[in-house]
Amino acid sequence: MKKLFFQDRGKGEVVILLHGFPMHQKVWDGFAEKLSKHFRVITLDLPGFGKSPILNQPFTIDQVAEQVLSWISENKIEKCVVVGHSLGGYVALAMAKRAPELFDGLILFHSTAYADNDEKKQSRNKVLEFIDNNGVVAFTSNFIAPLFVNVQHPAIEKVRAIATESTKEAVKGYTQAMRDRADRTDVLKSLHNPVLFLAGEKDAGISVESIERQAALSLHSEIQILPEVAHMGMFESEEESLEIIYSFIKKKTVTK
């Protein structure tokens, strides 16, 4: 197993935050600090991002999930709530496919259980071509602002700085892995513990309608839509997102 870099904050019920693409765990810093006042909060660098070594190419989302599950086992974590932002949600769903017993709850934060459709796959292929022609920094430096409703949001520079640390190998590897990932709606249908869909009203990539369709498949689901938010609720609506996640975890604990 490749060693994953992580930070561990707070005490209590374990909450694991998985970052999106093409970022690393420092994107959660402020958010994790506040959440750790109530829970034990762990943030990981997914393989190939931040300080975690990359998997051998080509790799799949399933293989990324296996690495995270191995890390969890190695650290003797028996139960947790996993919060997956975007790419992190794809990884969390793949983890839940393999080890549903681990999950006290799952939060898909601007993420989806659907596989890429043909249009999205073509978009991923264009990203690969763009990177080959223009370099990875040209892609990562321009990728972040459109994830926000307000393209002048003060957090954009911080997130852009994180994204531009990503290597060409990692960005291309994950672009291919996301393009080829499996549909995970079967996980929604079989997972017995609660699932929270935390979504942005103005997320151009994941519509509210698609979230509602997915939630209808889940055995125990909750939907929370953040108004005037696109794809980065941890910055665009930090306090509301924290309150929603806190309430979901506490409510889940009370109803066990």
Identify the CATH number of the domain in which residue 72 sits. 3.40.50.1820
Cβ 150 vs Cβ 231: under 8 Å: no
Tell me the DSSP string of 101-158: GGEEEEEEES--SSPP-HHHHHHHHHHHHHHHHH-HHHHHHHHSGGGSSSTT-TTHHH
Cβ 235 vs Cβ 157: under 8 Å: no
Pick the closest to residue 252 from 189, 212, 191, 193 (CA basis). 193
Task: Give residue 254's pLDDT.
Answer: 45
Task: Give residue 255's pLDDT.
Answer: 46
DSSP letter for 47, please: T
């190939």: which residue's tokens?
A: 48
Q: Does a structural domain hold residue 227?
A: yes
Where the chain has pLDDT below 70, the residues are: 1-2, 252-256
pTM above 0.95, yes or no: yes
Q: Does a structural domain hold residue 170?
A: no
**105-118 confidence digits (pLDDT tens):** 999 999 999 999 99
Task: Give residue 1's pLDDT.
Answer: 59
Q: Does a structural domain hold residue 44?
A: yes
Q: Does a structural domain hold residue 100?
A: yes
Element (H, E) at 79: none
Q: Does a structural domain hold residue 137?
A: no
Task: Give residue 251's pLDDT.
Answer: 84
Q: Does a structural domain hold residue 105?
A: yes
Count structural domains, the chain: 1
Q: How is residue 20 written in tokens?
A: 């999106």
Task: Give residue 252's pLDDT.
Answer: 66
Q: Would you put residue 218 in left (φ > 0), alpha (ψ -120 to 50) or beta? A: beta
Task: Give residue 130's pLDDT.
Answer: 98
Q: Which domain holds residue 11?
A: 6-116+182-254
Query: String of b and e for 97-113 (b: at least 16 CB within 10 Å)?
Result: beeeebbbbbbbbbbbb
Residue 199 phi, psi (nearest 5) = -130, 160
Q: Does a structural domain hold residue 72?
A: yes
Q: Does a structural domain hold residue 134?
A: no
Report the distance separating Cα 183 and Cα 90, nearest Å.
9
